[in-house]
Amino acid sequence: MKKAFVIVLAVLAVAASACVPTPGKQVVTVLVTQPPVATYTPWPTYTIPPTYTALSPLPTYTSLPTYTALPPVLTSTPMPTRAPEATHTPASTPTSAPTGAVPCSRPVGDRFGGIWAAIQKRGADSAHLGCPLNDPHVVKGAAEEFQNGYMLWRNDNKQILVLYTNGRAGSFPDTFQAGSDPETGGYAAPSGFVEPKSGFGKVWRERLGGPTSEIGWGKGGEYVTKNLMAQDFENGVIFWEDFVGNRVFLSSSGSWEQW
């Protein structure tokens, strides 16, 4: 490019010499301006990223201490088995009063002797039957099952026992008079049940609450008991009936038990 520039200058010099001013003519001066020289912008300088420092080595862990094994567990020597002692079986069921109690003048019947002895061993006086008032005897009677209990009528003492399924009990005199007292109260029993009649019905209506009584409605009417046997005591009675077995009424605590 410099060589071309020099040639241009030479041409201009020849032209200028050819144009020597002549008298009477105007001289024109031609100024030749050198074109600007192109400048180059240098490429940007890139900085090399820093060198990363290597990670520190992991710490060295100390090994766990060695534990000493425990001594073996001592085994105990079992005690020798003691031979069982001979048990004494009584020849018959005792019917006298337990040790420490006042003996009864009348013995308890053989049928009820074991039940009476077991009840008399209890600590509370209210749970005792006391001494017998008579001998075991067959009783004419009637009974009826209820939704929540049982009634028993005894002809010998004209009493009606009411035994609830929750263990409570009571005894009421039989005051029913045939011909003067109504057989029933005329209540409509629920399906499958009946209203008690006669002596049971009178106690049910007048003493227990009738249709709202806790004992509920009769299940199937009263029936005549078979082989009913009873023995009365100072604080209750033990009786046996084919349909229900042995039962004990404790008047002192107002409760009954099945045996």
Q: How confident is the model over 118-157, as pLDDT tens digits?
A: 998 886 665 689 999 999 999 999 999 999 999 999 999 9
Q: How confident is the model over 181-216, as pLDDT tens digits?
A: 999 999 999 999 999 999 999 999 999 999 999 999
Supply 38's token pair.
């192109």
Q: Give the span between the Cα atoms of 255 and 162, in whole angstroms.
A: 10
Q: How confident is the model over 7-40, as pLDDT tens digits?
A: 555 555 555 455 455 555 555 555 555 556 556 5
- Phi, psi (deg, nearest 5) at residue 229: -125, 140
Supply 166's token pair.
């929750």
For 183-211, letters b (16+ CB in 10 Å) and e give: eeeeeeeeeeebbbbbbbbbbbbeebeee
Q: How confident is the model over 29-82, as pLDDT tens digits?
A: 555 555 565 565 666 665 655 555 555 565 565 555 555 554 544 444 444 444
CB-based contact 147:217 (threshold 8 Å): yes
Paired with 1 in beta bridges are: none
Q: Give the span between the Cα atoms of 168 and 89, in whole angstroms.
A: 35
